[in-house]
Structure 1
Amino acid sequence: MISSTKKQVDIHHYTKLQIIHVLSGIIQSIISIFPRCVSNFTDLFIVLISTGLAERYKLLNKLVIKSKIWSNYDDYWYVLRVNYGILNNLVKETDKIISPLILISCAHNFIYICIELFIGLSLKNDVPLVTIYSFYAFAFVVIKTIGVMFAASRIHDNSKTILSTIYRCPSSKYTKETERLYNIVSNDNVVLTGMNFFFITRNFILTVAGTIVTYEIILLQLSTRTAAKY
Structure 2
Amino acid sequence: MWYGRITVGNSKISPKPFQPPKFYSSDSKFILDELKLTANVKTSNLLVGNGFYRITRKLILISQTVFGIFPVRGLRQPTSEHLKFNMKSFSFIYSMVIQMCIIFMFSTSIYKQLNSKIVYTKVVKFVFFFLNFLVYLNFTIVARKWPQYVKHWERAEQKLLELHIMQQQNQQVQRKIWKIAIVIMFLALIEHNLGIASGVYVSKSCWGVHSAEEAYFRQSFTDFFASFKFNIYLGLFAQIVNLFCAFAWNFIDVYLIIVSVLLTEKFACINRRLESNLSVHSSKFWNEIWCGYKICVELVDRTNELNGGTILISFFSNLYFICVQLLGCFKSESSILDGLYLWFSLIFLIARTLALCLFASEINDESLKPLQTLRSIHSDYFDITMNRFTEQLMNGKVALTGINFFYLTRKLILSISGTVVTYVLVMVQFNEAEEKESDNNPCT
**Which bin holds the TM-score, normalised by the shorter protein?**
0.7 to 0.9
The verdict on how the C-alpha distance between 1:126 and 1:36 changes in structure 2, with shifts beyond 3 A counting, is closer
Once residues 34 and 221 of structure 1 are traced to their aligned partners in structure 2, the CA distance between those partners, rounded to angstroms, is 33
Q: Does the CA contact (< 8 Å) of 1:91 and 1:190 recur in 2?
A: yes
Paired residues, number: 208
Q: Which residue of 1 aligns with 2:312?
A: 103
1:213 aligns with 2:439: no
1:114 aligns with 2:323: yes
Once residues 69 and 184 of structure 1 are traced to their aligned partners in structure 2, the CA distance between those partners, rounded to angstroms, is 23
Once residues 221 and 34 of structure 1 are traced to their aligned partners in structure 2, the CA distance between those partners, rounded to angstroms, is 33
Report Cα offsets for 1:24-82 as digits up to 9, x if no partner.
Answer: 222111121111111111111100000000111112112102213437x2212211111
Once residues 185 and 89 of structure 1 are traced to their aligned partners in structure 2, the CA distance between those partners, rounded to angstroms, is 14
1:169 to 359, 372, 377: 377
2:352 to 131, 140, 144: 144
1:111 shift after superposition? 0.5
TM-score normalised by structure 2 residue count: 0.44
- Ranked by relative contact order (alpha carbons within 8 Å, sequence separation 6 or more), the top structure is 1
1:115 shift after superposition? 1.4
- 5+ residue gaps, structure 1, are 1-16
Structure 1 or 2: larger helix share?
A: 1
Once residues 216 and 91 of structure 1 are traced to their aligned partners in structure 2, the CA distance between those partners, rounded to angstroms, is 34
Q: Does the CA contact (< 8 Å) of 1:47 and 1:152 recur in 2?
A: yes
1:153 aligns with 2:361: yes
Once residues 31 and 222 of structure 1 are traced to their aligned partners in structure 2, the CA distance between those partners, rounded to angstroms, is 29
The 5-angstrom pairing of residues 37-116 of structure 1 reads 37-70=247-280, 73-116=282-325
Once residues 39 and 96 of structure 1 are traced to their aligned partners in structure 2, the CA distance between those partners, rounded to angstroms, is 21
TM-score normalised by structure 1 residue count: 0.83
Once residues 360 and 301 of structure 2 are traced to their aligned partners in structure 1, the CA distance between those partners, rounded to angstroms, is 13
* SS of corresponding position for 1:160: helix
1:125 aligns with 2:333: yes
Q: Does the CA contact (< 8 Å) of 1:118 and 1:219 recur in 2?
A: yes
Q: Which residue of 1 aligns with 2:412?
A: 204
1:178 aligns with 2:380: no
Once residues 221 and 163 of structure 1 are traced to their aligned partners in structure 2, the CA distance between those partners, rounded to angstroms, is 49
Once residues 219 and 24 of structure 1 are traced to their aligned partners in structure 2, the CA distance between those partners, rounded to angstroms, is 32
Once residues 265 and 421 of structure 2 are traced to their aligned partners in structure 1, the CA distance between those partners, rounded to angstroms, is 32
Once residues 220 and 40 of structure 1 are traced to their aligned partners in structure 2, the CA distance between those partners, rounded to angstroms, is 26
1:86 shift after superposition? 0.7
* SS of corresponding position for 1:161: helix
The verdict on how the C-alpha distance between 1:21 and 1:38 changes in structure 2, with shifts beyond 3 A counting, is same
Q: Which residue of 2 aligns with 1:26?
A: 236
Larger radius of gyration: 1
* SS of corresponding position for 1:68: coil
Q: Does the CA contact (< 8 Å) of 2:326 and 2:424 recur in 1?
A: yes
1:192 aligns with 2:400: yes
Once residues 188 and 103 of structure 1 are traced to their aligned partners in structure 2, the CA distance between those partners, rounded to angstroms, is 22
How large is the RMSD of aligned CA atoms in angstroms? 2.2
Q: Does the CA contact (< 8 Å) of 1:100 and 1:195 recur in 2?
A: yes
Once residues 256 and 368 of structure 2 are traced to their aligned partners in structure 1, the CA distance between those partners, rounded to angstroms, is 21
Q: Which residue of 2 aligns with 1:6?
A: none
Once residues 195 and 28 of structure 1 are traced to their aligned partners in structure 2, the CA distance between those partners, rounded to angstroms, is 33
Larger mean CA deviation between 169-178 and 79-88 belongs to 169-178
Once residues 141 and 222 of structure 1 are traced to their aligned partners in structure 2, the CA distance between those partners, rounded to angstroms, is 23
Which amino acid is 1:201 matched to? T
Q: Does the CA contact (< 8 Å) of 2:328 and 2:342 recur in 1?
A: no
- 5+ residue gaps, structure 2, are 1-213, 215-229, 438-444
Q: Does the CA contact (< 8 Å) of 1:191 and 1:199 recur in 2?
A: yes
1:125 shift after superposition? 2.6
The verdict on how the C-alpha distance between 1:113 and 1:89 changes in structure 2, with shifts beyond 3 A counting, is same
Which amino acid is 1:211 matched to? T
Once residues 288 and 274 of structure 2 are traced to their aligned partners in structure 1, the CA distance between those partners, rounded to angstroms, is 11
Which amino acid is 1:195 matched to? I
Once residues 326 and 404 of structure 2 are traced to their aligned partners in structure 1, the CA distance between those partners, rounded to angstroms, is 28
1:153 shift after superposition? 1.0
Which amino acid is 2:394 matched to? S
1:217 shift after superposition? 3.2
Which amino acid is 1:33 matched to? L
Which amino acid is 2:418 matched to? G
